[in-house]
């Protein structure tokens, strides 16, 4: 799965680390001077050892960004928001024999981020793309993360297929690989009615922090 770690600063400026550029070292260095991060890719929560939960950066497990690495090495003094656009990034084990539930959001908050947007189950990639696109649009207007996420979820649950295709036409898809672009176009053609009305598509994402 293609992974992408986007860093951004005020005024929505910033840069994208993708493929081999999105190394653990590059991300840890960028974390020190950026106001926000957006990760898109694969993630896993480890119920046996939550500290081994990770954001996948490479096929080599040693290069992944684990929760233990976030605790030990990540420092985000300027981070206002971390968005984890992947499956199960907000999962915690409620039966852990500890006072605090350990999960990826915990690590980013302790590293200095003010808030983390994460997911509670395996999410649909197309629905997630629309949801987070609307979330950032709402955030520019409200400057309130919780309100922006709620508004985005309400928007997605009522949005028609035609409106979604209109929104997709505003996206810059120049950085997508040809296979990704083909899959996206095919998925957009298949949308009918109000395709993401079911809570499965929009209710997974939560905000932790403020």
pLDDT digits (tens, 9 = 90+) for 125-164: 999 999 999 999 999 999 999 999 999 999 999 999 999 9
* pLDDT score, position 100: 59
pLDDT band at 30 (very low <50, low <70, confident <90, very high): very high
**Long-range CB pairs of 25-33, under 8 A, 24+ apart, other chains included:** 27/57, 27/65, 28/69, 28/73, 28/74, 30/5, 31/7, 31/74, 31/75, 31/76, 31/79, 31/111, 32/75, 32/76, 32/77, 32/78, 33/78
CB atoms within 10 A of CB 93: 16
Convert the pLDDT of each residue in 106-135 to its tens digit. Answer: 999 999 999 999 999 999 999 999 999 999
What is the value of pTM for the model shown?
0.90
Measured CA to CA, the distance from residue 199 to residue 53 in angstroms comes to 26
* Mean pLDDT to the nearest integer, 41-62: 89
Measured CA to CA, the distance from residue 22 to residue 25 in angstroms comes to 8
* Alpha helix (H) residue ranges in the chain: 24-31, 67-73, 104-111, 125-142, 145-158, 161-168, 178-190, 199-202
Mark 188-197 as b/e (b = at least 16 C-beta within 10 Å): eeebeeebbe
């Amino acid at each position: 799965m293609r992974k992408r770690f986007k860093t951004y600063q005020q005024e929505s400026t910033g840069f994208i680390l993708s493929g081999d550029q999105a190394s653990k070292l590059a991300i840890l260095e960028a974390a020190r001077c950026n106001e926000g991060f957006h990760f898109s890719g694969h993630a896993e929560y480890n119920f046996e050892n939550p500290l081994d939960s990770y954001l996948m950066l490479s096929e080599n497990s040693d290069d992944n960004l684990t929760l233990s690495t976030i605790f030990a090495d990540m420092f985000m003094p300027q981070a206002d928001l971390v968005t984890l656009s992947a499956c199960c990034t907000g999962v915690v084990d409620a039966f852990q024999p500890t006072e605090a539930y350990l999960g990826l959001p915990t690590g980013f908050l302790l590293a200095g981020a003010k808030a983390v947007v994460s997911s509670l189950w395996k999410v649909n990639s197309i629905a997630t793309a629309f949801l987070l696109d609307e979330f950032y649009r709402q955030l520019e207007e409200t400057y309130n993360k919780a309100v922006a996420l709620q508004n985005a979820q309400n928007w997605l649950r009522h949005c028609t297929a035609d409106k979604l295709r209109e929104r997709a036409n505003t996206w810059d898809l120049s950085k997508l690989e040809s296979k990704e672009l083909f899959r996206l176009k095919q998925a957009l053609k298949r949308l009918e009615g109000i395709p993401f009305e079911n809570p499965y598509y929009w209710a997974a994402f939560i905000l932790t922090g403020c």
